[in-house]
Amino acid sequence: MRLPCHVQAMLVSNRESRSMQFHLNGFRAGDPAIAPPREAAPVLVDAVRAVDVLIVGCGPAGLTLAAQLAHFPEITTAIVEQKAGPLMIGQADGIACRSVEMFEAFGFSERVLKEACWVNETAFWNPDSARPEIIVRSRRIQDTEDDLSEMPHVILNQARVHDFFLEVMANSPTRLAPEYSRRLLGLDIAVGEDVESTSGYPVTARLARLDDAQPGAVETLKARYVVGCDGARSSVREALGGVLHGDSANQAWGVMDVLAVSDFPDLRLKTVVHSATQGNVLIIPREGGYMVRMYIELDKLDAHERIASRKLDAAHLIAAAQRILHPYTLDVRQVAWWSVYEIGQRLCDRFDSASSMRGHALHPRGFIVGDACHTHSPKAGQGMNVSMGDSFNLGWKLAAVLLGRCAPEVLLSYSDERRAVAQELIDFDREFARMFSARPAQAASTDHETVEPAAFQQYFIKHGRFTAGTAVHYAPSPITAASAHQALARDLTVGMRFHSAPVIRVADARPLQLGHVMKADGRWRLVLFADGAAPDATHSAMHALCAYLHDSAHSPVRLYTPPAADIDAVIDVRAVYQQAHRDIALEHLPALLLPHKGRLGLCDYEKVFCVDHKRGHDIFALRGIDRRQGCMVVVRPDQYVAQVLPLHAHGELAAFFAGFMRRGGV
């Protein structure tokens, strides 16, 4: 039996463990994941503490952003949270394939995969055609299509995701840690000529201390940028003048995590149950092997009615689940967590302060992320995932601007790109929620909206890539080119995330996922897929490109790398050859691919890869790479393909980076 591609890839990934580079600047004992701490004195502006970025909110969006910025010792960040401490039990649980890919960039995907529950199949249950008062299984499908991602769809408590991000922050050069028990009281952002009087820190925030150490005290903090990751009732959004637009579906739902005994056979599968008259339930198996989450349809709400007026409790949710699962039994032994909520899809006009700057230069200083700018139902499992995607999109852009590597205008792309994603999410969520709440057509009475079970199942399958997080497609912009040369790499679509595939690292014959070299370190990647010439052929297009990148005064690698930095500090060049690793002589490859780096001038042997012939994984075939011509693929710091170019297109490559990069950055 041939295993699905993503399962094969995961087995390879588990064998390879996590690839790390250290000792670059001399031998260092201890845990290599813990970076040496930076030495930096606090910055004061008019006797007030000042930071580069103030993050408000310690949810998944805020922690993703904080973990990204913590990587840069040159950037000072403060993250504040109204709660008294870290989250202990989470609300969200579904982690999309794309999010696990992102976790790999932060270095903790293996820990997530070891601890999480893997979602492998989805079951659908509907009323029995002969006896509609009982439910029967109508279909089981593979949850994620083959080769959609090397990572699976998994379930894990949101609080554990927080723990992993907090650990990344604690181990970073900045040793960043949240400041709890701080409530935002006020936020001012200077614009226009007023910015000149702020010493480069136009954001002023006032924070109330809620802890016992200084109860009632008010702290003032200045910042270059502020990011609101503070949820649907965002104080930052309100301060920026943003408004969530949209409607509630007037539908009440409950959710509970339970330890239960049941004769329902699909309790350990992701399962959608549509009953004839008792409502619907979505079953999600949780990590640990025993706990199960249930999303339970409750009653319709009257116009302008709030769910709090129903005074629902866990007993109501259990009783509803028992009715829906009839004739199967559900004996709930413990409720670990429960909540009730209303479905609603709402979206903010913009995700930054540009719209409120009253005609001044469009250089946004305030941003909103996650639930602060878009809300939706939780059943499609996209809330946490899209929120983290927002932050991953914004984080590298803030870092690039603060380090002087990119023009400030690049920050405008955050709202443009992520609002389009949020709108697509809301459109999907609205239809998904409608179809989920509808009664099965063959068993429903005329006073309810109906849906054909087969139609719902097809909709579920059709949008599998969307729920996996792999369908995001950014429109052309200064940082994402048009796809004029897409035919050179058919399945590495410009504007979509770089789709990883297995390769062999030439220097040590190690099987790896190519996408796993792309860490959350703010660097651009330039992946060179070699033409059909021999690796040591000095006349090849591959050799010519490497010589241009290494030596030319017009090379973006040379132009945008600071004089004292390693050659790959800003643009990390990697090469993939078609030949087997034993047929490639490292000593005959271009110098660019064996750079000498660090204080000791050590050679980096981890830039060169080739096709995994032994295991039958041909990345050129898997990703539609033109074997005769080869190509170069430009990958953004958030792992999205920015450009596909022929190997000889030196001028086009230079022009692309010239559109947004700055020389002389850190």
Cα 623 to Cα 146, 149, 490, 551, 648, distances in angstroms: 14, 12, 6, 30, 20
**How many angstroms separate the CA atoms of 292 and 96, rounded?**
18
Contact 655, 495 (CB under 8 A): no
HSE-CB at 466 with a 13 A cutoff on CA atoms is 17
Contact 388, 382 (CB under 8 A): no
**How many angstroms separate the CA atoms of 517 and 354, rounded?**
35
Task: Give the chain's count of helices (H) and strands (E).
Answer: 15, 29
Question: Which of 98, 224, 286, 430 is labelled catalytic?
Answer: 286
- 145 closest CA partner among 492, 473, 486, 470: 470
HSE-CB at 124 with a 13 A cutoff on CA atoms is 19
Question: Which of 295, 474, 577, 640 is labelled catalytic?
Answer: 295
Question: Which of 378, 453, 590, 595 is labelled catalytic?
Answer: 378
623 catalytic? Reply is: no
Indicate if the alpha-carbon torsion angle 434, 437, 440, 446 is positive or negative: negative
Q: Look up residue 536 and give its DSSP letter.
A: T
What tokens appear for 578 in the block? 């078609």
286 catalytic? Reply is: yes
What tokens appear for 199 in the block? 């010493």
What tokens appear for 573 in the block? 């060049």
What tokens appear for 249 in the block? 């579906």
**How many angstroms separate the CA atoms of 162 and 62, rounded?**
10
- 116 closest CA partner among 289, 270, 296: 289
Enumerate residues 6+ apart whose C-beta is below 8 A from 19. Answer: 510, 512, 516, 517, 606
560 catalytic? Reply is: no
Question: Which of 93, 163, 371, 638 is labelled catalytic?
Answer: 93
**How many angstroms separate the CA atoms of 93 and 292, rounded?**
11
Q: Where are the alpha helices (DSSP H) in 526-598?
A: 541-551, 556-560
| DSSP annotation string for 460-516 | HHHTHHHHTT----PPPBTTB---TTGGGBTTS-TTSB----EEEETTTTEEEEGGG
**How many angstroms separate the CA atoms of 255 and 175, rounded?**
36
313 catalytic? Reply is: no
The number of residues in the chain equals: 666
Looking only at the bridges linking them, the beta strands covering 48-56 and 292-300 are unpaired
Q: Which residues are known to be catalytic? A: 93, 286, 295, 378
